[in-house]
Structure 1
Amino acid sequence: MTDWFTVKIKYLKQNPENGSIQSKSEAYMLNALSFTEAEARLQGILEEYIPEYNLLTCAKTNIQDVIVDEAFDYFYKVKVSYISADPDSGKEKKINENYIVQADGLKDAYEKMESRLQGSIVDWEIPSITKTNVVDVFPYLEEKVLEKEEHEVEA
Structure 2
Amino acid sequence: MEQNWFECSIRYEKTMENGMLKKVTEKYLVDALSFTEAEARIIEEITPFISGEFTVANIKRANYSELFPCDEEVADRWFKCKLAFITLDEKTGVEKKTPTQVLVQAADLRDAVKKLDEGMKGTMADYEIAAVAETPVVDVYPYAADEEGGHEERREPTATELLAACRDGEKTEVVVRGQNVIVDKTGKNTVVITYSYDNNEKQSPN
Q: TM-score range by the shorter chain?
A: 0.7 to 0.9
Q: Which has the higher helix share?
A: 1
> How far apart are 1:31 and its partner, in Å?
1.1
In 1: Cα distance, 2:67 partner to 2:122 partner? 19
1:83, CA displacement in angstroms? 2.2
Structure 2: how far apart are the matches of 1:44 and 1:125?
Answer: 38
In the alignment, what sits opposite 1:9?
10
Q: Given the superposition, is the C-alpha separation of residues 117 and 50 from structure 1 closer, same or farther in structure 2, using an over 3 Å criterion?
A: same
Q: Which residue of 1 aligns with 2:96?
A: 93
2:135 pairs with 1:141: no
Q: Does 1:40 align with 2:40?
A: yes
How many residues align structurally?
144
Deviations 1:44-93 (A, max 9, x none): 11111114211111000110121111321111011111223679x99753
TM-score norm. by structure 2 comes to 0.62
> Runs (4+) of structure 1 moved beyond 4 Å?
89-92
Mapped partners of 2:54, 2:15: distance in 1: 14
- Normalising by structure 1, what TM-score? 0.81
SS across alignment from 2:38:
helix
Alignment of 1:1-155 (within 5 A): 1-15=2-16, 17-18=18-19, 20-51=20-51, 52-71=53-72, 72-84=75-87, 92-142=95-145, 145=147
Q: 1:65 to 1:119 in 2, by over 3 A?
A: closer
Q: Structure 1 CA distance, aligned partners of 2:110 and 2:127?
A: 17
Give the Cα–Cα distance (whole angstroms) in 1 for the partners of residues 86 and 17 of structure 2: 52
- Secondary structure of the 2:18 match is coil
User: Which 5+ residue runs of structure 2 have no aligned equivalent?
Assistant: 151-206
Q: Which runs of 5+ in 1 are unaligned?
A: 149-155
Percent pairwise identity: 33
